[in-house]
Amino acid sequence: MKRLRIKVKPLARPARIALCALAAALLFLAAYAVSGYPAFSPEGALRRAERRALISMRGEILAEVPQMLYNDNQTRFLLVEYGDAAAGFYGVAQDAPLKLGWGAHSSDVFYLFPKSAGGATVAAYPGYPPFRSFEDELLWIAAFDDFPQAVRAELSFTLVPSDSLGFPDAAPVSYALSSEREYAGIFLFSLAAPEENLENSSTSYVLQRLAECVDPWSAQVRASTFAGGVLPTATVVFYDAAGNAIATVETQFAEALV
């Protein structure tokens, strides 16, 4: 008795290509879901963070700054403005599989703080990852300003440690920083960590606390770090293209609402 042989006609080339494309799309969606549904850009991750914080207004991104590598993850630091009402810091990492997504598993930090009425709002960025005053690490300080004609700004402030810290070298330290205009609406200053980052150094410790002072949850730590338990005061002088000082603003470092 002859066996019945059934010949299966191979799929046409266009059909095989379509099936492969469908399988690849399904695998991509599975990886996307497993990785925590990351955003495809730092801005996309910011918009999601705004929704989580119940902010109805879309912030204007003034600057996007590359940050240090941390655990092989590329990070970005975004400076955002919400009209005349508020400004914000947003830090996010590119930590999805194959480095294709941003902010997977809610790996981001978002700080929103009110703008000062004096024409300049000064805030220190806590960092993502957090600023720890390691060697070659930079502390970023932003001055959101209302002086579009300014092309250069000088920022000065003094950090006075509290006597309760108990550091043997505790003493006021003054800083004077300068920045050229790179982004509309903001001047960005960078302060290098001390060369000698010793555990018993009050300078390193106080800089770390300055980086944290924008965080609303750091009030207790801040109160025990700075003399009088108050936020440090900064003075910003703005200069036009001719080198003339056009405004001087004195304001406290900002504290975030969220």
Structure tokens at 166: 């108990």
What's the confidence (pLDDT) of residue 171?
83
Per-residue pLDDT of the chain (258 residues; tens, 9 = 90+): 556 565 656 667 776 676 666 656 555 455 454 445 678 889 999 999 999 888 989 999 999 998 765 555 688 899 999 999 999 999 998 876 666 788 876 678 899 999 998 999 999 998 877 887 777 778 999 999 999 999 999 999 999 888 877 777 778 889 999 999 999 999 999 988 776 555 557 788 888 889 888 888 887 777 788 888 888 999 999 999 999 999 999 999 999 887
The answer to whether the peptide bond before residue 129 is cis (omega within 30 degrees of 0) is yes
What's the confidence (pLDDT) of residue 231?
87
Q: Which residues contact 62 (CB under 8 A, 6 or more apart)?
A: 79, 80, 81, 144, 183, 184, 185, 186
Mean per-residue pLDDT of the chain: 83
What's the confidence (pLDDT) of residue 257?
84
Contact 150, 200 (CB under 8 A): no
Count the Cβ atoms, other than its own, within 10 Å of residue 214: 24
Q: Which residues contact 135 (CB under 8 A, 6 or more apart)?
A: 193, 195, 197
Positive or negative: CA dihedral 243, 141, 188, 89: negative
What's the confidence (pLDDT) of residue 31?
47
pTM for the model: 0.82
What's the confidence (pLDDT) of residue 63?
96
